[in-house]
Structure formats: structure tokens, C-alpha cells
Amino acid sequence: MTIRLGYQIPNFTYPDTPVERLFDTVIAQAREAEASGFDTVLVMDHFYQLPGIGTPDQPMLEAYTALAALATATETIQLSTLVTGNTYRNPPMLAKTVTTLDMVSHGRAILGIGAGWFEREHDDFGYEFGTFTDRFERLEEALNIIAPMLRGENPTFAGKWYKVENAMNNPRYRGQIPIMLGGSGEKKTFRLAARFADHMNIICDRGDVPKKVEVLRQRCEEAGRDPATLATSYLAMLLPTESEAEAEKLLASVPPERLARVFVGTFDQIAEQLQKDVIEPGITGITLNLVRHGHVPGTVAAAAEALKPLVS
């Protein structure tokens, strides 16, 4: 399993689209991604829309219900979250959920997982948020349960946060379902990725990519793992424009603090930026979103045409 070119759908607010037709637009994006050469479609695991994208009351679909539906509407593309909030589900139940998605999709599921971070969702929905340390302790314990279950073992585990006894997970479509961690934490996230993951999606400012790649390699070596066995990708928000002049105008409207993770310009310009800032430092894959334009037919295909050469 690897993600060379992933398409994330983080936005479910589409102009002139009534809510009852919303998911038709999601399906259309997934099918366009599949047809144009993306290897993975991903959705966020959130209950509210995120700050910086929209307002909390805007539409947000439950991740695994949406992915299961997309499994029946697509044929070959991998399906994942970027990423599942560990705090929202009991670990063996999450293993069961992802394994069922793998069954429904005939072997196309990836478990994307992270520690969880959106405090308001926890508070509003009644999930314990806890401290930063708490959440990473819980994630490590969860991975000690989930990883064996995804490869057909029946773990028994008793920790501070979770306890299971001979937890079975049947039926399974494949011998093992791949695990992807998402984040940028050099001490905790990267260490867990080196121990448990098949893939690491790095979410950071573009200027930090070289350092993140080097630290991830160090964590693999500390764990006795060949860094080449841990695939990597980078999450990029794209704001495509029709011309350089339009790009300059749009850049002037983007807050400076967001420019470090936003790629603005024509698709050719964006490809050049990603090549220089992401691929050359050592990242092997790109996961992108098109928050403003992804629902417009042809936009996803245009992104694929420009970016496939970077990761082929």
C-alpha cells in the first residue's frame, strides 16, 4: 500500500447544491479522482467544519458512513480518513469498522489515525478530551490493540485507557489492512509511525518539510526499521487560478500565516512549488484538497494531470 496521489474531500458546502444532493457531488468528485489517476480518496473525521475552511454549523459527514458509500460508487481507488480521531471510537470497534470498510470495498481500506485535537467537538459531543499527553497515551494503547486486529490476531491488552481480551475481528478481506498516521509531531507521532505504520502523512509548513523528513528517518532508525519501508505523503491545500495575475491577487488576500501550507497559482505553478518544497526534500506522495473548487467538474482531473508526473 502506498499513497502517491491522494484526493482529500474536506468541504461539503457546495454553491447551488441543495443538501439532499450533497452526496451526489461527493460521489462525482471521488469518481473523477479515480478516473483521472488519483490512487486514494480521503475524508476528514470530524463532526463540525474546521476553522479556516468554514463555520462549525456547515455540513460535515460522518467519515466511515461516507467512505462505505463511496466504496459502492467506485471500483479501484483506496479509501481512508485523514485522519481518524482515536478519541472518538473504542479501539476494537474502530478495527472492526475499518475491516468492514475493507470488506465492502474489496480490499481498498486504509486506516488513517491520529491522536485527536479539535477540543470543541469533544466538549459538544461528550468525549473526554484530556491533556496532550493523555491523547497520545491513548493512541499508543489503541495501536497496540488495533494493529494486531488488522492482521488477524486476537489481542489481549490491559492498559491505563483500554482493555480487551482475545478480541476477534472477522470476517476479513485481506491478511492485513495498512495503517497511516497523520501529523507532524517529531517525538510522539513519528515514533508511533516508526513502530506501527505503513505510511506517514506529514502535515506541516512547507519550509519544515526537510527537517520533518530527516527526523522521521531518525525515528525509524531508533526503532530498528529501514526508513525506506515507511512511505510518506504531504497534505497540501491548493487554490488554483486561471492566470498568474489572478494568483497574485489571491495571494494578497490569504493571511500570511496560512501561506506556509497553501499552494496558490495555476496548476503548472503549483506543480513547480510542490516539486521544490515537498518532493525534492524526500516526500514520496502528495495528498491534496481543493476546498474552493473541488466540486467543479474537471478541476480534480486538471489537478491530476499537472501533479501525476511529480509522483510517478
Beta bridge partners of 200: 181, 232
Domain ranges of the chain: 5-311
SS3 call for 169: coil
Q: Checking DSSP bridges between strand 163-164 and strand 157-158, what pairing results, if any?
A: antiparallel
Average pLDDT of the chain to the nearest whole number: 96
The pLDDT of residue 247 is 87
Total-model pTM: 0.96
For residue 172, which of 156, 149, 204, 196 has the smallest C-alpha distance? 149
> Confidence band (pLDDT; 50, 70, 90) for 1?
low
CATH 3.20.20.30 fits 5-311, yes or no: yes
Residues 82-115 have pLDDT tens digits of 999 999 999 999 999 999 999 999 999 999 999 9
pLDDT beyond 90 at 257: no
Give, as one character, the DSSP assignment of residue 109: B
Mapped onto helix, strand or coil, the DSSP state of residue 181 is strand
Identify the residue whose cell numbers are 463511496.
70
